[in-house]
Amino acid sequence: MTVYRNTRRKNKGAAGSYYRTTSAYRGAQPSPASGAPSAPEPDAGAAAFGSRGYALEAEPVCEPDEVTVPEDAAASQDAAPAAQTSDVVDVEPEAEAAAAAEAVPADEGAEKSADDAAAEKGADNLFAAAGIADELAAATVAAAPEKASSADDAAATGGAQPAEPAGDASEDDAAAPAAHRTATVHRTTGETDVVVELDLDGSGTAHIDTGVPFFDHMLDAMSRHGLFDLTVRATGDVEVDAHHTVEDTGIVLGQAFCQALGSKRGVTRFADVAVPLDEALVQAVVDLSGRGQAYCSLPLPTERVGSFDTELAVEFFYAFARDARATLHVRELAGANSHHIIEAAFKAFGRALRRACELDPRVSGVPSTKGSL
């Protein structure tokens, strides 16, 4: 009988490679005893690969199958088309199984290596996260005794927190507001007893009591416009007149300014202001020169304003400039009313003094070519 074998290719395998499959079939063969055809015998190769007769080949090219046939069928078999015999392929189950076993692990190995890399990367991330968690836990544990110690210290000191370490002195000085420049002067003589409290960096709060009402009014105007916090308490022989009280108050107030200014580092030093009051216009010019002198030109049309002797205004300016060690010019530019002229003079004096005493951030040291005032 003629043996027919067909081969065909199967599409891409599960592992990603192409494999060649074969089908084997043997026709009915004569029985050796009777010569009658017997039931078809399954091919050994087909039986080995299951009922469907499919098998995987690892090699792309297979050797031709060796088939044994009876001699009387040799001629018929030789007459079979060459195309059919050329397609007969021997299938060796053991070789194909080994090749399949070798081919599949290769791809599985590639997949395994990729899975292993992903697993290792995930493990590294887990280990890194675990390391960070461990560090945080260690830091928390380390900080706990310090907090407990701080709480114990605070309890021991009555709740007071420990002082922070001091930083750079220059930075602290720049951040902290400048200290107020203040002075208190008390002067007693056989004629007067005068106490002056002064804050150059105040807000213009004044408490004045000299026993001379018009003079109290003038000192209050000077303090408010100069933004000096000023307290003046004076007693004197006002039963004689107000001369001693007004002059000695000028002396003590000048000494208070001199003390509060100190070395005069950073001050503006020079200032001039003109202040009007109705028809009156008075100019005051101040130089914190260190040389006490005053030049006043205040022609007044009357000798008194109420009970106040108008010429005492100039006496006050002279006394102040001498003990404050300042150069002072007070000049009447216009005026007809004695009250207006004197009040404009005290207001201009207060404003000019304020500007001269103000600190200028651009001034380095004492504003003098001599280096001192």
Same domain, residue pair 69 and 191: no
Q: Answer yes or no: are the C-beta atoms of 13 and 56 closer than 8 Å.
A: yes
Q: What is the model's pLDDT at position 370?
A: 85
CA distance 332 to 274: 9
Q: Answer yes or no: are the C-beta atoms of 354 and 286 closer than 8 Å.
A: no
Same domain, residue pair 217 and 144: no
Q: If pLDDT is split at 50, 70 and 90, which confidence band does 135 have?
A: low
Q: Write the burial class of residue 294 (CB in 10 Å: 0-12 exposed, 13-18 middle, 19+ buried).
A: buried
Same domain, residue pair 151 and 211: no
Same domain, residue pair 127 and 214: no
Q: If pLDDT is split at 50, 70 and 90, which confidence band does 78 have?
A: low
Same domain, residue pair 144 and 189: no
Reported for 103-106, long-range contacts at CB under 8 A and 24+ positions apart, including other chains, are 103/15, 103/17, 103/58, 104/15, 106/15
> In total, how many domains does the chain have?
2
Same domain, residue pair 208 and 341: yes
With respect to residue 364, please indicate whether it lies within any of the assigned structural domains. Answer: no
Q: If pLDDT is split at 50, 70 and 90, which confidence band does 371 have?
A: confident
Same domain, residue pair 138 and 201: no
What does the pLDDT average to over 99-121? 53
345: CATH: 3.30.230.40
Same domain, residue pair 192 and 48: no
By residue range, what is the domain housing residue 148? 1-158
| Nearest one of 169, 182, 281, 267 to 230, comparing CA atoms | 182
Same domain, residue pair 140 and 188: no
| Nearest one of 11, 20, 18, 16 to 110, comparing CA atoms | 16
With respect to residue 177, please indicate whether it lies within any of the assigned structural domains. Answer: no
Residue 311 has pLDDT above 80, yes or no: yes
Q: What is the model's pLDDT at position 372?
A: 83
| Nearest one of 202, 251, 210, 259 to 230, comparing CA atoms | 202
Q: What's the mean pLDDT when you consider all of the chain? A: 74
Q: What is the model's pLDDT at position 23?
A: 45
Same domain, residue pair 109 and 207: no
Q: What is the model's pLDDT at position 45?
A: 46
CA distance 45 to 55: 9
Q: What percent of the chain has pLDDT over 90?
A: 50
Which has the higher per-residue pLDDT, 229 or 49?
229
Could you read off the pLDDT of 320-352 as tens digits, one per residue? 999 999 999 999 999 999 999 999 999 999 999
* Matching residue, tokens 């100019």: 283
CA distance 324 to 233: 19
Q: Answer yes or no: are the C-beta atoms of 212 and 281 closer than 8 Å.
A: no
